[in-house]
Structure 1
Amino acid sequence: MAGHNKWSKVKRLKAVTDARKGKVFSRLARDITLAAKAGGGSPDANARLRTLLLKARESNMPADNVDRAIKKGTGELPGVVFEEITYEGYGPGGVAFIVKVTTDNKQRAAQEVRSIFTRWGGNLAQTGSVSFQFLHAGQFLIAAGKTTEDRLLEVALEAGADDVITTEQGFEVRCNVHAFDKVAHALEQAGIKPDSAEIAYIPSVTVPVTGLDLAKHIVKLQESLEENDDVQAVFSNEEMDDAISDAAHA
């Protein structure tokens, strides 16, 4: 989830056009394949796979695509071997970026990610030089009106969540990475459907962005990274108000 404007990002993701659904399906397929490879093809015995299958269903991913992705992971179908890599870098204005990649060609991915950073006035950084500015945790965003704070506290904390943060827009649940699937399952069982659910890099240090030109360059960098076929997720620590964010995305 890019930047500190969590709810603005959710709103934009909900507006993804049908033209980009193939990209969404491709990313989900890679994640499903990796989950099946690591923990087997049964969602009952593989919590991570179960969570991804929920995401695939919500995205209306065709069942045949899901089945092929699982079988590639379990070895029932031939498929390419994917690697998961995390890149760190800085964008314009000193904004910190973490880029999660799943690729079958590590060298190609590194070259393309580096090229995108350079094109938009940024640069890749050494491992660890950026990540200290982020909390690596499970994150669930639930819009106001979907549940009550008391109910969410009861369900989430019992499942192992560390914190429930209440804002005007809704609720943010945070948990340890290893508790993500358990919390996701508990929310599902309680009938609480998150607007966003991911293992995220949440900024603990933010960079204020008030100028429109700078905001546009940051957004262009984010969008260029997200459009790359190997990139699964982009996280950054800019802080901009909704007016600047909306203008930068226009």
Structure 2
Amino acid sequence: MAIALGRISSSYRSHLWRSLLGCPEAWHKINCSVLLMKESAIHTSSLAFAGHNKWSKVRHIKGPKDAARARIFSKLSMMIKVAVKEGGPNPELNPHLYNLVEQCRQRNIPKTSIEVAIKGADKSKPASYALFQARGPGGASLLIELLTDNTNRSFADVKLILNKNGGTATDGARHCFTKKGVVTVQTYDKDGSPVPLEQALEFAIQAGAEDVQESQDEEDKDVYKYICEVPALREVRSQLLTLGMVPISSAPEYLPIITVQPSDSDKEKLFHLLELINNQAEVLRIYDNIE
């Protein structure tokens, strides 16, 4: 199972798709292939924080809500500073920054805190994105996304945590994932009316998305995840806005194409490992391929 993406019954979703896709043209549109971005072009603007759906079910592992929120803003703040350096301090002229500011607003982060992060970009150290591949307990593949000013130091810190908790660094994890665009939206429209899954699936067809999945955010609130080609990310988000949906974030994400089923004991070890890694200040997101 992928971080940040929930599961819905495959048979139920297949039935819905068959009922919705009554014409070959629509079916062709939904099943368009995914064009992958270059490995170096991560620049994600959507985070899977410590309270992601799987971890939130393990209550003795998940930290207090206030601590989780503090980590969330710390990581968003880092990304805001990088976005400002790359595209300027005006959110209206910098789509990457605009998306991050919207994420902050969705999480009720004070406006003054957002402004401080934007103004502090000039004083921050140069940072870059890095992708670390690893293997966890039970054979789970992990992709660890970092934002760091010292890649060697950050990789060494992650390796130390892995070695002490049943994991190891590897070069073979990337092939278990594919990169797609993911637009996360609220499960109710701009007027506050709930949007049922059947309607969300119809919107996926109209917006040009390949699929829509039910999930939960870091505070266990229900959300929809619209999956699309990476180059179509902005257009799908725009279409969902037109249809009345309320976007929370939009970014490329790594989704598993090869999954594993660890034992219960290995899952416990893995969740503990993920929590330790995620608590690292420079870690933005962790993807796994647990089914």
Task: Tell me the TM-score range normalised by the shorter chain.
Answer: 0.7 to 0.9
Q: What is the Cα-based RMSD across aligned positions, in Å?
A: 3.2
Q: Aligned to 1:192, what secondary structure does the other structure show?
A: coil
The yes-or-no answer on 1:67 pairing with 2:115 is: yes
Q: Is the 8 A contact 2:103 2:248 kept in 1?
A: no
CA distance in 2 between partners of 1:5 and 1:82 (Å): 27
Q: Residues 55 and 98 (structure 1 numbering): CA distance in 2 closer, same or farther, change over 3 Å?
A: same
Q: Is the 8 A contact 1:2 1:9 kept in 2?
A: no
CA distance in 2 between partners of 1:99 and 1:20 (Å): 18
Q: Aligned to 1:238, what secondary structure does the other structure show?
A: coil
The structure where strand makes up a greater share of residues is: 1
The percent of aligned pairs where both chains have the same amino acid is 26
Q: Residues 153 and 46 (structure 1 numbering): CA distance in 2 closer, same or farther, change over 3 Å?
A: farther
Match for residue 164 of structure 1 among 211, 236, 239: 211
The yes-or-no answer on 1:177 pairing with 2:177 is: no
Q: TM-score, normalised by structure 1?
A: 0.78
Worse-superposed segment, 169-178 or 102-111: 169-178
Q: Give the drift of 1:69.
A: 2.3
Which residue is equivalent to 2:101? 53
Which residue is equivalent to 1:24? 72
The yes-or-no answer on 1:233 pairing with 2:285 is: yes
CA distance in 2 between partners of 1:195 and 1:238 (Å): 25
Q: Give the drift of 1:147.
A: 2.5
Report matched runs for 1:78-227 at 5 Å. 78-126=123-171, 129-141=172-184, 146-147=194-195, 152=200, 156=204, 161=209, 163-165=210-212, 171-193=224-246, 198-209=251-262, 211-227=263-279
The structure where helix makes up a greater share of residues is: 1
Q: Is the 8 A contact 1:141 1:195 kept in 2?
A: yes
Q: Is the 8 A contact 2:81 2:120 kept in 1?
A: yes
Q: Aligned to 2:258, what secondary structure does the other structure show?
A: coil
Q: Aligned to 1:229, what secondary structure does the other structure show?
A: coil
Q: Is the 8 A contact 1:51 1:185 kept in 2?
A: no
CA distance in 2 between partners of 1:158 and 1:147 (Å): 15
Q: TM-score, normalised by structure 2?
A: 0.68
Consecutive unaligned residues of structure 2, counting only runs of 5 or more, are 8-50, 189-193, 216-221
Q: Is the 8 A contact 1:36 1:49 kept in 2?
A: yes
